[in-house]
Structure 1
Amino acid sequence: MSRTIKEIYDQAVAERDRRLELREFNSDSKLSILNGILWVTAAVIYTFEVLLDTFAMDISEVINSRINGTPAYYVRALLQYQKGDELAVREDGLAFGYASVDESKRLVTQATYTESVEDDNLDAKLILKVATGEKGRLQPVGAEDLVLLNAYIARLKFAGTRVEVTSRKGDVLIPRVTVYYDGAVRESAALDGIEAKLNEYMSSVDFDAAIYVSKVVAAMRAAEHVTDVYIDTAAVPAQGIFVASYDVDGCLTGTRRVERVLHTASGYLTQSAGTQEQCELPTFREALTLKVESHEV
């Protein structure tokens, strides 16, 4: 980290005063010729040190972005995958790449990684979690495309590395809570506002980020006309923030109550479609219990 001009100047003055042959030039005046020369020299040295810091930072970023074999390396590779194009080896033989970049052929829009250790295998496996589509409307990668992605990573991975690419249907968010509103609008309008805020929240959450109960509740409280969001412990069925996840085979594993924080299996949240395998999972409107705020004690 570069020093300030004053730090450089003070060190130069201290070094000058330490030398007997220069003590006759000792002066506290900022207008002295020697002090003026020292100040200009300090400014030049400061500029040089700032340039060195900038250069070191740029070099560090380049090196970090080119480290092969790290989890981030595989994530970047998945985001750059172009469906239908053939990988080619660079002339220096140090990396794979495509002859031309075509973003319209890219399949993966979101990717992250976790490490999994199995009891029967001491070596950790790198699990690469991916999804496609726009943020807020993410979808799992199709089974056929997932085979292509695993084959693609198999060509890029380093010897001895255990890597698996997975993509699951979105975890279904079920906000089974009691919402109080001021009664100034119709119930349907109040539900529209709450649903919009929940959709906005799901769109704002980063891929594979932690899901906090407090933030889900805060999203509903932010809806217009809502006065309170309450988890009734005596209600039947039980209230709370629930999530239903899919396993690697695409089957629902049942709902689970989120006590405080949760990491999704798929990396993103969705609302129940209310059809097919989700027919028994309530939509936002079906899960919410809406009541008009009463000020009676």
Structure 2
Amino acid sequence: MNKTFEEIFAEMLAEKASKAELSELNSTSKVSIWRLLLQVVSFVIYNFQLAANLHLQEIRDLIASQKVFNLRRYRNEALRFQYGFDLQPETDKFKSTYEDNGVDVIATDEQIEASKIVKYAACNRVIENSRSKIVMKIAPADLDGVFTTDQMEAFSKYIEEIAPAGDHVTIINYLPDILNFSFKIKYDPMVLKADGMNILTAKYPVQQAIENFLKNLPFNGELSVQKLETAILDVDGVIDLQTLQIQSKWIDPAQNGYGIYQPINMAVIPVSGRFKIEDFTGLQYIV
């Protein structure tokens, strides 16, 4: 319903012309009473249309901006966190100022951006002991690192303040899961050396392929053993591949460190949200 005033008035004229009982209203004057009445009615309809469209847009904006907490919003809220900034009273919006020696200072764009320390986040809903909870995994820009105790205290308080009452949120701030493997690789001696180094580039393409495969996994993405094998087989100079073993270990809070390695049969999602490789001694090259 987006008609112009002229279109509405033209429709009124056409409807009037279709009524034989109104044929006596035939004055051609632009200021005739009947024509002015139609113009007034057309103007009222046109303005009602504008008001209806405005109301509809307001409803759409309210629907689009409603803040129902789902997994996507939990993730977005984690990425929105600003370390060092407090929330405005009774809102979920961060202050744009900070206090320096008793004086409120307007934060620069660079300071605001630097305060957004959570660069990776993923959320899942799990059932534990017949109770539903949100598991939120987060990581800094340096995927090999973790957040400090001070940073986690601030982040936990932030999530506690914005989360709906009744939601149980567990925050995972772990060092990367460690991936360990043993592959027997049949190689082409015209392309690779016995230690896997490319003859022309002096680089180690199998190691690079594995590292690139892990980098391309989304945060908290599933590692597929078959897809990892395919990435290795696509390396120039690799003829065939046998997977002897592939396993991973992750931070176990009960042990105050990493647990023992667990085999990966087909695929696995890292507990910390990402993987790390400590060494490539599990690569065996055969002719």
**1:189-228 equivalent positions in 2, closer than 5 A:** 189-190=197-198, 192-228=204-240
The alignment of Structure 1 onto Structure 2 pairs a total of residues equal to: 212
Q: Indicate which of 114, 137, 149 corresponds to 1:129.
A: 137
2:261 match: secondary structure:
strand
- Give the aligned partner of residue 112 of structure 1: 122
- Give the aligned partner of residue 257 of structure 1: 263
2:162 & 2:273 partners in 1: Cα distance?
A: 24
Runs of 5+ unmatched residues, structure 1: 1-51, 232-238, 273-282, 293-297
Cα deviation digits, residues 235-287 of structure 1 (max 9, x gap): xxxx2221122224651111111111111111111111xxxxxxxxxx12x11
1:66 & 1:202 partners in 2: Cα distance?
A: 36
Aligned letter for 1:68?
V
Aligned letter for 1:156?
I
Contact 2:71 2:125 (8 Å CA) reproduced: no
Cα offset, 1:164, TM superposition = 2.1
1:143 & 1:97 partners in 2: Cα distance?
A: 21
Aligned letter for 1:78?
A
Q: Identity, % of aligned pairs?
A: 17
Classify 1:148/1:187 alpha carbon distance in 2 versus 1 (closer, same or farther; 3 Å): farther
- Give the aligned partner of residue 153 of structure 1: 159
2:206 & 2:183 partners in 1: Cα distance?
A: 12
1:252 & 1:215 partners in 2: Cα distance?
A: 26
The yes-or-no answer on 1:187 pairing with 2:199 is: no
Cα offset, 1:140, TM superposition = 2.5
2:131 & 2:67 partners in 1: Cα distance?
A: 21
Cα offset, 1:170, TM superposition = 0.8
Classify 1:67/1:241 alpha carbon distance in 2 versus 1 (closer, same or farther; 3 Å): same
Classify 1:217/1:65 alpha carbon distance in 2 versus 1 (closer, same or farther; 3 Å): farther
1:223 match: secondary structure:
coil
Aligned letter for 1:160?
G
2:275 & 2:138 partners in 1: Cα distance?
A: 14
Cα deviation digits, residues 118-138 of structure 1 (max 9, x gap): 32xx4311111111115xx45
- Give the aligned partner of residue 245 of structure 2: 240
Classify 1:258/1:187 alpha carbon distance in 2 versus 1 (closer, same or farther; 3 Å): same
2:259 match: secondary structure:
strand
1:153 & 1:86 partners in 2: Cα distance?
A: 12
1:227 match: secondary structure:
strand
1:216 & 1:271 partners in 2: Cα distance?
A: 14
**1:19-38 equivalent positions in 2, closer than 5 A:** none
Cα offset, 1:88, TM superposition = 1.0
2:272 match: secondary structure:
coil
- Give the aligned partner of residue 12 of structure 1: none
**1:46-65 equivalent positions in 2, closer than 5 A:** 59=60, 63=63
- Give the aligned partner of residue 97 of structure 1: 94
**1:268-279 equivalent positions in 2, closer than 5 A:** 268-272=274-278
TM-score normalised over the length of structure 1: 0.64
- Give the aligned partner of residue 81 of structure 1: 81
| Structure label with greater radius of gyration | 2
- Give the aligned partner of residue 46 of structure 1: none
Classify 1:131/1:72 alpha carbon distance in 2 versus 1 (closer, same or farther; 3 Å): same
Runs of 5+ unmatched residues, structure 2: 1-52, 97-106
- Give the aligned partner of residue 3 of structure 2: none
2:204 match: secondary structure:
helix
